[in-house]
Amino acid sequence: MFQDFKSDGFMFMLAVGIVVFVIAQSLFFMIRAVKRGKELGITKDQIKNTITSSAVFSIAPAISIAITVIVLSVALGYVLPWIRLSVIGAIQYEVPAAEAAIEAAGLSGGIGRPVTDPKVFVAITWVMTLGCLLPLFLIPIILKKVQKSVSGAVNKNAKWADLMSAAAFIGLIAAFLSRGIAGIGEVSVNEAGEKVNVVLGDGAGVLSISAIISSIIFMLILTFINKKLKAKWLEALAMPLSMILAMGVVVLISSFAPDLAAIEWRY
């Protein structure tokens, strides 16, 4: 009863309308690009190869997006994540935004627990949506100035620019890893006076560390295969495949060793 509002007819109509609009917009610009390419003398084979390569390279981001929908579906259902990630969403933003809104509402368990209050659900929707609107206004205004500043820094000291870029990426990864290593989960006390997990895997423990370690191992293996076999197609798929395989490891541990999976060290 309480979950109906996440996947009722209105939500599905809204999702379908947005997805149709996005597809129509993509087709519109693709048709205009093909027409313009022919006017510039680009051959049909070149246009066909460009479309094919673009479609292939879109597979990896699509897999990451599908994983994000699955991750958010426990708390928000499938429809809202589907809407968000069909437009301008990404796992680097959607998950922290949803968790921040859930915590601000005073709920525990993060995205590992279903949101049953429609008002909280609406608040989460606004947080996830408004946060992504800001770049749409800032990019046309300040991007050109930022690009000039970055270009100037690169021209003066290319190593410093590479260092700053690497530091930003490492900082982003560290923000996600910190929860898996030191995240606090919700517990309750049973009749025997023992602490027990309320939501399995919402705090740092065996599952989170297993996901981190296994994803690193899978990424190293796929990177090695890519370099050894010179499989360029695997380069774009390495990260999403590592995520999927790591999720599989977590599922196996939860299924075959539930007592081990329940171990968490942050309460």
Q: Please report, in tens digits, the pLDDT of each residue of the chain (267 residues total).
A: 445 788 888 889 999 999 999 999 989 999 999 999 888 888 888 888 888 877 777 776 777 788 788 888 888 888 999 888 888 777 777 888 888 888 888 877 678 788 888 999 999 999 888 888 877 888 888 877 777 776 766 666 667 767 777 887 788 778 778 877 887 776 666 666 666 666 666 678 888 899 899 999 999 999 898 888 877 767 777 877 888 899 899 989 988 988 888 888 765
Beta carbons of 115 and 102 less than 8 angstroms apart: yes
pTM over 0.85? The answer is: no
What kind and span of H or E run contains 196?
strand 195-197
CA dihedral 39, 43, 46, 50 (to 10 degrees): 30
What is residue 121's three-state secondary structure?
Answer: helix
pLDDT of residue 2: 46
* Separation between Cα atoms, residue 223 and residue 214, nearest integer Å: 14
